Chain A
């Protein structure tokens, strides 16, 4: 029990940007193991909470088939339907096709995907921790940081404590304001990583700031470049096809 209490205290310290907890983590000989447990346990709990929330949503939603039938009956009974159908016969075929596709009316809560989240959330957390921690370590060393790799990982792992906010998903329909949870965890996660790098490497604030920001900036540049490549290739393919058709 004490073990879980310690891990919870560490995660909470990470969430609340407690510099003392980050410093203690840097000096701890078991820092990396403890950070690993924080990442895995917080990820598991958040995945489990989201799944429980999904079950709650599933139990309070009507059968998708019944929703589809009610919508079909209701829409076709409206005056606009008769007007549009008489003016444009193709509309009826498109309308019927839409209602024939069962995927149009699936439930928002998918219990199978939710159950997968119990495993995937800690796994993605681990990958994010290793990749993010490694990039932050390289950048921090380039900016004059003094910590060893395990010390950086020990501190950046605590930033996963921010994901405790995701426990809110245990309440069904908790994303009332879309993006609120994502924005909070992303920004607080960046701040927690900044505190982790600053405390682990003893860097000045601006150096720690750039060391943390360089990873996400590179990712954005990479994604934009990838997007441009895809658009370029797609536009080229469409152009070739159009040229071929023209000949």
Chain B
């Protein structure tokens, strides 16, 4: 498992070739997704747990977030137009925090720690599923494009090898670090994209340029379609308003 994880991160093509020929290719790939998902889910769940450990802590976290948003609005270019919004928030926020705390302090049949334990566990077990959903969507479109471009791999090989692209997302476990989280997320995404291109090339015995095309074809087409639809709608709205 660790060998597969390291091999994916270091773009080890020999390991990918071995995985392609393995009859257990899907099991091994999905185990990696499960491993990364559980790791990220456990850490991000624990981070949420720390921020919501008591009703007071939850209110403090929400208060911190609201204050940050207010500062952002005050420093933004539309600060003057958004003054009524800021005034509304300032007038009502204390009463809102009291309401939030009252709601969080309502008694439940099982004590509050049970709910928090369940929510931590839920985040932990749900994260692999969110990675799996995204992976399947990517793999299906990449596989179709790769076959259209002359690829020879089957769906099991594509899924098993494509799963390696989830490995860099272990960095998402550090998403709770302010400022650093989004940069690490971007690095993980780009790293995963490179792994997906190499995985497609190995799974389908395609040269690199075709593998890149296979990975990008449908996302680019869908993006273009979305852009055209947006332009069309914008045109209709402008025409209707005019």
| Given known contacts A70-B99, A171-B118, A195-B156, A179 and B109 CB-to-CB distance under 8 angstroms | no
Residue of B98, B107, B132, B147 with highest tally of chain A CB at under 10 A: B132
The answer to the question of B78 belonging to the interface, with a C-beta cut-off of 8 Å to chain A, is: no
Q: Which residue of A lies closest to B132 (CB)?
A: A184
- Tell whether, in the assembled complex, residue A60 and residue B23 are in contact, meaning their CB atoms are under 8 Å apart: no
| Given known contacts A183-B136, A187-B137, A60 and B118 CB-to-CB distance under 8 angstroms | yes
Q: How far is the CA of A194 from the CA of B27 in the complex (A)?
A: 18
- Set of chain B residues within 8 Å of A147, measured between Cβ atoms: none
CB neighbors of A among B150-182 (8 A) = 154-156, 159
Give A162-193 as 1s and 0s: 1 = Cβ < 8 Å from B's Cβ atoms. 00010010011111110111011001101100
- Tell whether, in the assembled complex, residue A174 and residue B126 are in contact, meaning their CB atoms are under 8 Å apart: yes
Which residues of B are in contact with A by a Cβ distance under 8 Å?
Answer: 23, 26-27, 30, 88, 91-92, 95-96, 98-99, 102-103, 106-110, 114-115, 118-119, 121-123, 125-127, 129-130, 132-133, 136-137, 140, 144, 147, 154-156, 159
The answer to the question of A3 belonging to the interface, with a C-beta cut-off of 8 Å to chain B, is: no
Q: Quote the shortest CB–CB distance from A184 to chain B (angstroms).
A: 5
Q: How far is the CA of A74 from the CA of B93 in the complex (A)?
A: 12
The answer to the question of A244 belonging to the interface, with a C-beta cut-off of 8 Å to chain B, is: no
Q: Quote the shortest CB–CB distance from B116 to chain A (angstroms).
A: 9
| Given known contacts A61-B108, A78-B92, A180 and B126 CB-to-CB distance under 8 angstroms | yes
- Tell whether, in the assembled complex, residue B136 and residue A191 are in contact, meaning their CB atoms are under 8 Å apart: yes
Contact of B122 among A61, A67, A172 (CB under 8 A): A172
The answer to the question of A144 belonging to the interface, with a C-beta cut-off of 8 Å to chain B, is: no
Number of cross-chain contacts by CB at 8 Å: 125
- Tell whether, in the assembled complex, residue B121 and residue A187 are in contact, meaning their CB atoms are under 8 Å apart: no
- Tell whether, in the assembled complex, residue B110 and residue A59 are in contact, meaning their CB atoms are under 8 Å apart: yes
Contact of A59 among B91, B96, B108, B156 (CB under 8 A): B108
- Set of chain B residues within 8 Å of A70, measured between Cβ atoms: 99, 102-103, 106
| Given known contacts A62-B108, A74-B95, A205-B147, A165 and B154 CB-to-CB distance under 8 angstroms | no
- Set of chain A residues within 8 Å of B156, measured between Cβ atoms: 17, 19, 195
Q: How far is the CA of A18 from the CA of B23 in the complex (A)?
A: 8
Majority-rule SS of B interface residues: helix
| Given known contacts A59-B110, A70-B102, A184 and B91 CB-to-CB distance under 8 angstroms | no
Q: Quote the shortest CB–CB distance from B119 to chain A (angstroms).
A: 5
A59-B109, A67-B103, A183-B133 provided; 14 other pairs, C-beta below 8 A? A56-B118, A60-B108, A61-B115, A70-B106, A79-B91, A165-B129, A177-B130, A179-B133, A180-B126, A180-B133, A181-B129, A184-B136, A195-B155, A209-B144
- Set of chain A residues within 8 Å of B159, measured between Cβ atoms: 17, 191
The answer to the question of A63 belonging to the interface, with a C-beta cut-off of 8 Å to chain B, is: yes
Q: How far is the CA of A236 from the CA of B151 in the complex (A)?
A: 52
Give A192-216 as 1s and 0s: 1 = Cβ < 8 Å from B's Cβ atoms. 0011000000000110010000000
A–B pairs, 13, beta carbons within 8 Å: A17-B155, A17-B159, A60-B109, A60-B115, A62-B103, A74-B96, A77-B98, A78-B92, A171-B122, A177-B126, A180-B133, A184-B136, A205-B154
- Tell whether, in the assembled complex, residue B130 and residue A173 are in contact, meaning their CB atoms are under 8 Å apart: no
Q: Quote the shortest CB–CB distance from A46 to chain B (angstroms).
A: 14
Closest 8 CB pairs of A and B: A74-B99, A62-B106, A183-B133, A60-B115, A187-B136, A176-B126, A173-B122, A180-B130
The answer to the question of A100 belonging to the interface, with a C-beta cut-off of 8 Å to chain B, is: no
Q: Quote the shortest CB–CB distance from B107 to chain A (angstroms).
A: 6
| Given known contacts A59-B109, A79-B91, A191 and B126 CB-to-CB distance under 8 angstroms | no
- Tell whether, in the assembled complex, residue B123 and residue A176 are in contact, meaning their CB atoms are under 8 Å apart: yes
| Given known contacts A74-B98, A183-B136, A184-B129, A173 and B118 CB-to-CB distance under 8 angstroms | yes
Q: How far is the CA of A181 from the CA of B122 in the complex (A)?
A: 12
- Tell whether, in the assembled complex, residue A60 and residue B110 are in contact, meaning their CB atoms are under 8 Å apart: yes
- Tell whether, in the assembled complex, residue B126 and residue A175 are in contact, meaning their CB atoms are under 8 Å apart: yes
The answer to the question of A20 belonging to the interface, with a C-beta cut-off of 8 Å to chain B, is: yes
Q: How far is the CA of A46 from the CA of B163 in the complex (A)?
A: 25
Q: How far is the CA of A180 from the CA of B126 in the complex (A)?
A: 8
- Set of chain A residues within 8 Å of B126, measured between Cβ atoms: 168, 174-177, 180-181
The answer to the question of A16 belonging to the interface, with a C-beta cut-off of 8 Å to chain B, is: yes
Q: Which residue of A lies closest to B155 (CB)?
A: A191
Q: Quote the shortest CB–CB distance from A50 to chain B (angstroms).
A: 13
Give A59-92 as 1s and 0s: 1 = Cβ < 8 Å from B's Cβ atoms. 1111100110011011101111000000000000
